[in-house]
Structure 1
Amino acid sequence: MTTTEPGVLVLAATPIGRVEDASARLAAELASADLVAAEDTRRLRRLCGELGVTPTGRVVSYFEGNESARTPSLVEALLEGERVLLVTDAGMPSVSDPGFRLVAAAVVHDITVTSVPGPSAVLSALAVSGLPVDRFCFEGFLPRKQGERARRLAELVKELRTMVFFEAPHRTEATLAAMAEAFGGGRQGAVCRELTKTHEEVRRGTLSELTAWAGDGVRGEVTLVVSGAEPVAEVGDDPEEWRRLVAELTEDGLRSKDAIAEVARRAGVPKREVYDAVHKDR
C-alpha cells in the first residue's frame, strides 16, 4: 500500500509597486506550482505577463469572499501532494490579506508551509519613517466606525513600541485626527503613500501637522507609522505639578489643549480637573 506525501503550501510576496521588485523565486514558483491561488486572477495574469511567466498549473481565485469556502479544496490538493502557491494583490499573503485560514488549516494537517519573501509595506514604511524601529507592532486597519476606532486607539495609548497601520486614503484624515485626540497632537508620525511607486511620498511630522496636511485630500495606498508613547513617571495628584507639566509641554510645542490632555492621561484624572488647575487665578 502506498501513501501520498503531503505537498507544500508556498506563501509568496508580490510587488507592492514596481514589478522590478519581484524576485526570481516568485517567477519560478509561478511557473512550476501545481496550483496557484490568487486574490485577483486578473492581476495575476498581468503580473505573469510583466514577468514573462506562464503558469503550468491550475489557477483559482482565493479572496475574502470565497476564502472560507475554497480553503477545504486547497487543503485537499495539498494532501494529494500538490505544491500550492498563494499570492495576493500586493505584499505577503495573510498580512491583512487572505491566507490565514489556509495556513491554519495546513498546520492542522501537518502540511509544510513555507514562504517566498519579498516586498512589504510594513517594513518599507518603518524603514523610511525616521521613527524608532528597534521595537514595533503592526495594527493593520483600524475599525471604520468612529466609536470602535476610538476604543481601539485608547487601548494603544500606552504602547511603547512604534506602531504601523494600514488605512484607506479617504479615511486617512479622520484616522490621523482620531490618533491626535487619543495620543496627543504632539506625537510624531509618518504618512507613507504609494510606497515604491512613481509618486511615492513620505510626509513626517506631529499628528496635528499630519492631520492638517491630510485635509487637502490623500490619494493612493497609505501606510501610517506612529511613534510609541514615551516612558513617563507617574504624575501625582498635586495641581501645581499639573500646571508645571502643562507649561513644559506647551514650551516643547504642544497646543495647550493637547498638553492638558496628556497630563490628565498621565495623572489618571479627567481633563477638566487639569484644565481648572491650569486656569486657576487667571
Structure 2
Amino acid sequence: MNSPASSALDQLLAKVSQLVDRIESVLPQPLSAPDWAQAIAWRYRKRSSGHGVLEPVRHVAAMSLDDLKEIEPQKEKLQRNTEQFVHGRPANNVLLTGARGTGKSSLIKACLNSYASQGLRLIEVDKADLTDLPDIIEVVASRPEKFMVYCDDLSFEDGEPGYKALKSILDGTVAASTPNVLICATSNRRHLLPEYMSENLTYKHTEDGEVHPGEGVEEKISLSERFGLWISFYPFSQDEYLTIAGQWLSSLGASPAQIEAARPDALLWALERGSRSGRVAYQFARDFMGRQAAA
C-alpha cells in the first residue's frame, strides 16, 4: 500500500503536470506543417491562443483565365512570371495595383487554378499576420511545390508592424530568397502607404533644376520597389464593361439573345452602382440570371 506521504506526492505531481500543460497551451508554438495533399490553397490564421495554423481552403473559386476579359496585357505578364516560377526559373514578386473591381484578385485565383497541376500552391495571409511570414516560409522551404504567398487588398498605415516585416522578406535580410516562394499582393495604392499633400514640401530642388524626394517619401516608395513586377489595372470603358458582363452572363448559361437583351439593364446597373468594374459586371450577371430563372 502507498503511504499517505507517497499519495500526497502523487497528487501534487499530477497537479503540477496539469499546470504545466495549461502554461504550454498558451505559450507560442512553432508553426506545424499541414497535410499538403488536402488542398491547393491555404489560409494562415491566428487562434485566440496566439498559435498560427495553416487551414485548407476546401472550395477554391472556380475561376479560369479565359473567364477574365479586357485585361489581356495584365494576364500575359502574370502568366509569364508564374510559368517562370513553377518551372524553377527566376521570377519576381508581384504587386497588382489599380482601380477596385478590375480583376486583380480574380487573376490570382485564375492563375492558381491554371497552374495547380504543375505544383503551384497558394497561402493567403492577412496583413495583420505578415509579421509571421518568416515562420510560414520556413515551413514550406523544403517542399517540392511552388508557393505563392498572397495578401489581398494590401495597404498600411504609418507605423504598422507588418510593413517592416514584408519589406525585410522581400529584399532586406541576410538570408537568401527561398526559390519555391513568391510574394504576391494586390492593392489600390501603388506605394501601399497613405500619401499626404504635406509630403510635397519635403522635396528638394537643386540649382540645376533637379527634384529630389524627402526621406519620408523615399521610405514609402521603397516597399513597392521591392516587388520586381508591377501590374497595373485601369477602369473599364463602357464597351469593355459590356464585354465583361456578356462573358459572365455566358458563363452562367445565357444565350446570345439574352446577352444582347441584357445590355440596357447592365448599363443601368452600372449607373446605379457608380462603377463599371468587372466586379459590378459579375454581380449584374448573377442578378440577371437569377431573375431569368425565377421568371
TM-score by length of 1: 0.29
Structure of greater Rg: 2
Higher helix proportion (structure 1 or 2): 2
- Structure with the larger RCO, 1 or 2 (CA within 8 Å, 6+ apart): 2
The TM-score normalised by the length of structure 2 is 0.28
